[in-house]
Amino acid sequence: MLPDGDAPFMPTSGIFVDDPGHADDLAARVAAVHERVDKALSAPDGLRRTLAKDFFPVHIRMYSKSRRKAPIYWQLATPSASYSVWLYIHAFGKDTLFRVQNDYIAPKLAHERRELEGLLAEAGPSPTTAQSRAIEAQSAFVEELSALLDEVKRVAPLWDPDLDDGVILNFAPLWRLVPQNRAWQKELGAAWASLVAGEYDWAHLSMRLWPERVVHKCAKDRSLAIAHDLEDVFWFEDAAGKWQVRPTPTRPLDDLIAERTSLAVKAALQSLLDAPDPVAASGRGRRKKS
């Protein structure tokens, strides 16, 4: 949207939040861009709600072609979308969710807990009806933020995105982080179930999570061996130009598996597999004003 030749005037880390007053608040960033290019927002008062509730489904449709969905901005949120974190796909790294956890959600939760403590202290033992409602809304917001932080902590150690795997498979482990969009969550949940079942073992993610399964498959399926740079270990081309399985791999399978296995990743994976069903949207979370 910037005029040709203009340098970006608002550097970004690729992480945005729905949080008024925050330096990376998405609504403020969008408004600033519109102001910079002298293009008035059609409905400035509703921008925050539009971004929280309406934009992501539209964005998915915009970046869909032939049933292939590839959104470049990802919304992770509480069930009621009372708080959202937005990730830019081309700024992903293996530390992205740790940054979301430590630099965004954890400080936000601490702040909102202090707000709740202030409301409780002000109300005392006999709160008015208005005070009770404010406390209930703030308590629900804190509860949602706490649950979101727990979910991010659960998946952060195992998430190491690789765009060669495609958007859906990269997003699949995060399926519990999109309760505000049930259709998208269902689609990601199905993709995750397929990953768990071994239907996408060509993916880098599968090797990261299940090396003990994928390495063995590479010894039987040359296409998988190629995908994981193990062709020379398990396969050779005979005199007739045909590819054959090596009678003995050039390296022990146990060594190949061990060097691709992370105890931290395995622990996080088990936690994700054992997690209870995610909380559905309730609509109770407090919405911040624009």
Task: Read off the pLDDT band of 1 (50, 70, 90).
Answer: very low
Q: How far apart are CA 157 and CA 143, in angstroms?
A: 23
Residue 257 has pLDDT above 80, yes or no: yes
% residues pLDDT > 70 (the chain): 89
pLDDT of residue 13: 83
**Mean pLDDT to the nearest integer, 35-53:** 75
* pLDDT tens string 69-82: 999 999 999 999 99
Q: How far apart are CA 65 and CA 36, in angstroms?
A: 32
* pLDDT tens string 140-178: 999 999 999 999 999 999 999 999 999 999 999 999 999
Task: Read off the pLDDT band of 194 (50, 70, 90).
Answer: very high
Q: Is 281 exposed, middle or buried (0-12, 13-18, 19+ CB in 10 A)?
A: middle
**Mean pLDDT to the nearest integer, 222-243:** 97
pLDDT of residue 184: 97
Backbone φ/ψ region at 2: left (φ over 0), alpha (ψ -120 to 50), beta: beta
- Strand ranges (DSSP E) for 15-90? 15-17, 64-65, 68-69, 73-77, 84-88
Q: Which residue is listed with tokens 């970006």? A: 8
Coil vs helix vs strand at 126: coil
**Mean pLDDT to the nearest integer, 2-18:** 72
pLDDT of residue 67: 79
Average pLDDT, the chain: 92
Coil vs helix vs strand at 92: coil
pLDDT of residue 270: 98
Lowest mean pLDDT of 4-13, 50-59, 155-164, name the range.
Answer: 4-13
Helices (H), 22-128: 26-36, 47-49, 55-62, 96-99, 106-123
Q: How far apart are CA 119 and CA 115, in angstroms?
A: 6
**Mean pLDDT to the nearest integer, 19-46:** 78
Task: Read off the pLDDT band of 87 (50, 70, 90).
Answer: very high
**Mean pLDDT to the nearest integer, 87-113:** 97
| pTM beyond 0.95, yes or no | no
pLDDT of residue 202: 99
Residue 287 has pLDDT above 90, yes or no: no
Kind and range of the H or E run holding 212? helix 211-218
Q: How far apart are CA 212 and CA 215, in angstroms?
A: 6
Residue 180 has pLDDT above 90, yes or no: yes
Residue 247 has pLDDT above 50, yes or no: yes
pLDDT of residue 4: 59
pLDDT of residue 286: 58
pLDDT of residue 6: 60
pLDDT of residue 290: 46
Q: Is 173 exposed, middle or buried (0-12, 13-18, 19+ CB in 10 A)?
A: buried
Residue 71 contacts residue 178 (beta carbons within 8 Å) = no
Question: CA quadruple 263, 269, 275, 281: dihedral positive or negative?
Answer: positive
Task: Read off the pLDDT band of 86 (50, 70, 90).
Answer: very high
pLDDT of residue 285: 57
